[in-house]
Amino acid sequence: MLPHIPSALSLSLSTVDVTAYRRVGVGVGFAAGAALSVVALLWMLLVLTGHDAGRALGAFWAGSFGSGYAVASATMVRAIPLILAGLAVAVAFRAGVWNIGAEGQLLVGAAAASAVGLHLGEQLGGLALIPALIAGAAAGALLAGIAGLLRARFGVLEIISTIMLNFVALHLVGYLVRGPLQEPTGLYPQSATLLLAARLPIILPDTRLHWGIIIAALTAVSLWAALRFTAAGFRVRAVGANPVAARIAGSIDVGATTFAAFLVSGALAGIAGGVEVTGVTYALYEGLSPGYGYTAIAVALLARLHPLGILITGTLLGALQAGGAAMQRDAGVPSVLVSIVEAVLILAMVSGARRPPLARARWAGVGDDTRARSATTT
Amino acid sequence: MSDTVSQFLEAAVRTATPLAFAALGEVLVERSGVINIGLEGAIIAGAFGALVGAGTGSVALGFAAATAAGAIMGTVAGGFIAWLRADQIVTGTAISLLGLGVTGTLYRTMYGAAGAGLTIPTLGSAPVPLLSAIPWIGSALFAQPLTTYLVYLLFPLLWWLLFRTHSGLALRACGDNPAAAIAAGIDARWIQFVALIAGGACGGLAGGTLVLAQSGTFIEGMSAGRGFIAIAIVVLGRWHPIGAVLAALLFGAAMALQYLLQAMGWSISYQLVLATPYVLTLLALAGLAGRAAAPAALGRADLGDA
């Protein structure tokens, strides 16, 4: 059931939809351009730092796209958490929610999933995966929900609160792996290993690629469809585009929609953590995520917040990280070099892009009428 | 007992010093209406700059290089944020990545994968006569490296600049109502640009302190989230220089407490102690620990003219 929308608003929103169609074409061209500039940039950086660029790029290719094994075991395995967390960032940003807490939500998701997987693995076997992933989603949603509540109730900027919560999550995991969830010998700061039955099965034999790729792909398609075709998705886009118009002209409950966006975003990041634990690491430890939640911001932005685009950009950044690791392993090039590439990609995009529409509406707020009013006057 | 306490306090102040530098710079930046998530990048750049500078054998050159490296990162951030009006969060994320990437790459390229057998001069503590003899707090406050004393000078200076000068008023106007500031003839872009450079320099100084007055060496990624901690400190300190220094001390104490707890064999609870300042910051934000009011236009890409 679609809400009744006055024509002026529906007109302006349908313009947004046309650009969304155009975005797909632009997106594919953009991804190709990004891939090309990545190679050019890598080559330049390698030459500048005095490395054998040919050998390093060879290692980069071999480790990312050079073989079926590399694509499946290195690139796609890294792409899975990046896609899921990227979707988390995208749904939030689409709603005008600046959730930069995907990293923390991913970590608590991993913690909850491993706790459930460890406790239920013996009784339920493979069925334990479902409650484990649900627990991961719930934990992520809970953490994001705190930021959502702080914004709705006290007008706290979620940029700041989600950063704080990232640290709370990190230290919480640090506590869990030294306390309640520590492995039985008590020697290492990590949890026990998940039983074979409670792990996500490998999808391609003889690779490390697990079922998480199906989860990531299905989530991306569902999120795209939900944003594009459902009333709830419409409300999210309307609130993100202009919360004041959404409230006045669209009679949309901006507060409820924003809060829902926090929860969905947190749940997706939580699933990313749950999938990482059950599909890759099989145990909880502090260094579980090499900053997936932060890289996810780049993944989402490079895809212009389009869920299907995120499948591509997540894979590209997964390849970048996989290739970087291979360069370090096989050509002695520091893998952090790829962080420079990521940074330049993001900077090129922000300076090239028109000002994102949500930047203006960002603080126009939710449960905070003074901000909403000042947004109308400026 | 009193020995343990004064050792703890001394560690707290020492740990708080780089945090205070970064946070004071961020107070300036945020008061001008910009939130610099890229502070992390300035700190790590400063740390690496300190290594290169002090590698020549001079601690002073180390600090100079650290400050310059931080200022360069601030300039990059300022170019995108103040002049191109790029989104602050996105730009900041990229600047942090850039700092970690460039320093990591240069470090491994210049010193090899194993890292150098680093012998760089460091800054010893310089006890102030008489003052350092005050019982309990004397050695904590006045038997520190010179950088800590620089904090004592910097925060009143920043307070005076922000609240007692025309430039400070103009800067705060940019943070609260950029459109009005521009209407009053203030060049908001220029002010935010300069604030970001100065904030970056403070971040660089924080990184320099980390290397030259604390750890004595450079480790990849050694900023370890201090840029984000500084942002928390600014919030907890309610965007005020004095508040920021006190909040930095609180975070420093929490971090120093972990060593104390570890030494006492409480291996797990220090993680919870470490999390406490962040929870406190959240409570402060929620107004439960006193109302914290952010500059009204903080984080906005436009200058109220859009």
The predicted-structure confidence for B283-300, as pLDDT tens digits, reads as follows 877 775 445 577 888 887
Amino acid at position B131, single letter: L
- Least confident interval from A29-38, A252-261, A298-307, B288-297: B288-297
B92-116 burial code (b ≥16 CB/10 A, e <16): bbbbbbbbbbbbbbbbbbebeeeee
Q: What is the pTM of this model?
A: 0.85
ipTM, interface predicted TM-score of the complex: 0.86
Cβ pair B228:A166 closer than 8 A: yes
Give chain A positions within 8 Å (CB) of B96: 294
Contact B105/A at CB under 8 A? yes
- Rounded to an integer, the average pLDDT of A291-310 is 90
pLDDT in the model for residue A5 = 38
Of B80, B105, B271, the CB nearest to A340: B105
Minimum distance, in Å, between the CA of residue A350 and any CA atom of chain B: 6
Q: What is the DSSP letter of A290?
A: S
Substitution target from A99, A350, A368, A376 for chain B, most B beta carbons within 10 A: A350
B228-243 burial code (b ≥16 CB/10 A, e <16): bbbbbbbbbbbbbbeb
B59-78 burial code (b ≥16 CB/10 A, e <16): bebbbbbbbbbbbbbbbbbb
- Looking at the domain assignment, is residue A68 inside a domain? yes
- Looking at the domain assignment, is residue A364 inside a domain? yes
Residue A240, pLDDT above cutoff 60 = yes
pLDDT range class, residue B263, cuts 50, 70, 90: confident
B132 burial level (CB within 10 Å; 0-12, 13-18, 19+): middle
- Of residues B239, B248, B240, B244, the one with CA closest to residue B159: B240
pLDDT tens digits, residue range B120-151?
Answer: 777 777 787 777 777 777 777 877 888 889 99
Of B86, B95, B179, the CB nearest to A351: B86
Contact A66/B at CB under 8 A? no
CB atoms within 10 A of CB B166: 8
- Of residues B189, B191, B217, the one with CA closest to residue B305: B189
Substitution target from A42, A143, A167 for chain B, most B beta carbons within 10 A: A167
pLDDT in the model for residue B130 = 75
- Looking at the domain assignment, is residue A324 inside a domain? yes
- Looking at the domain assignment, is residue A1 inside a domain? no
The dihedral sign for the CA sequence A40, A46, A49, A52? negative
- Least confident interval from A34-38, A366-370, B110-114: A366-370
pLDDT in the model for residue B57 = 83
Residue A280, pLDDT above cutoff 80 = yes
Cβ pair A50:B299 closer than 8 A: no
Question: Nearest residue of B to residue A187 by CA position?
Answer: B267
Supply the range of the domain harboring residue A48: 7-377
Give chain A positions within 8 Å (CB) of B275: 167-168, 171-172, 175
CATH of the domain at A286: 1.10.3470
Minimum distance, in Å, between the CA of residue B152 and any CA atom of chain A: 27
Cβ pair B228:A167 closer than 8 A: yes
- Looking at the domain assignment, is residue A2 inside a domain? no
If phi over 0 gives left and psi between -120 and 50 gives alpha, with beta otherwise, what is residue B300?
Answer: beta
Cβ pair B105:A156 closer than 8 A: no
Q: Could you give the number of structural domains in chain A?
A: 1
Minimum distance, in Å, between the CA of residue B275 and any CA atom of chain A: 5
- Least confident interval from A158-167, A257-266, B179-188, B278-287: B278-287
pLDDT range class, residue A376, cuts 50, 70, 90: very low
- Rounded to an integer, the average pLDDT of A120-140 is 88
- Of residues B211, B223, B226, B201, the one with CA closest to residue B59: B211
pLDDT range class, residue A6, cuts 50, 70, 90: very low
- Looking at the domain assignment, is residue A163 inside a domain? yes
pLDDT in the model for residue A298 = 87
Higher pLDDT among residues B264 and A138, named by residue: A138
pLDDT tens digits, residue range A316-354?
Answer: 999 999 999 999 899 888 888 888 988 988 888 877 655
Residue A146, pLDDT above cutoff 90 = yes
pLDDT range class, residue B65, cuts 50, 70, 90: very high
- Looking at the domain assignment, is residue A257 inside a domain? yes
Cβ pair A359:B87 closer than 8 A: yes
Higher pLDDT among residues A126 and A110, named by residue: A110
Q: Measured between alpha carbons, how far is A369 from B231 in angstroms, rounded to an integer?
A: 26
Of chain B residues 154-183, which have a CB less than 8 A from chain A?
179
Contact B111/A at CB under 8 A? no
pLDDT in the model for residue B5 = 78
Task: Tell me which range, B46-60, B64-78, B265-279, is most confidently predicted by mean pLDDT.
Answer: B64-78
pLDDT tens digits, residue range B111-121?
Answer: 876 655 566 77
Of B35, B106, B279, the CB nearest to A159: B35
Of B285, B300, B301, the CB nearest to A160: B285
Contact B2/A at CB under 8 A? no
Cβ pair A100:B267 closer than 8 A: no
Q: Measured between alpha carbons, how far is A259 from A92 in angstroms, rounded to an integer?
A: 10
Higher pLDDT among residues A70 and B281, named by residue: A70
CB pairs under 8 A between A and B: 168
